[in-house]
Amino acid sequence: MPFITVKVLEGKTPEQKRDLVKRMTAAVKESFDVDAENVFVFFEDMKPDDYGKQGELYSFKEKK
């Protein structure tokens, strides 16, 4: 059973997530030769303050 975790900045719509789940499931089904019902996709919505890039918090870089 493949388990996929997608870390993404908060604010994605349910429709966007639904589309990604559909596409990722199809890709894993084809690549791993598994049934779609055995593919799990988890979303971790992150706030811009939850990670850094190039030595600074991402949220700080956006404000410059």
Active site residue 2: yes
Half-sphere CA count of 8, side-chain side, radius 13 A: 14
Largest CA distance in the chain: 46
Q: State how far the Cα of 50 lies from the Cα of 9, in Å rounded to an integer.
A: 9
Q: Which of the following is catalytic: 2, 17, 29, 59? A: 2
Q: So which residues are the catalytic ones? A: 2
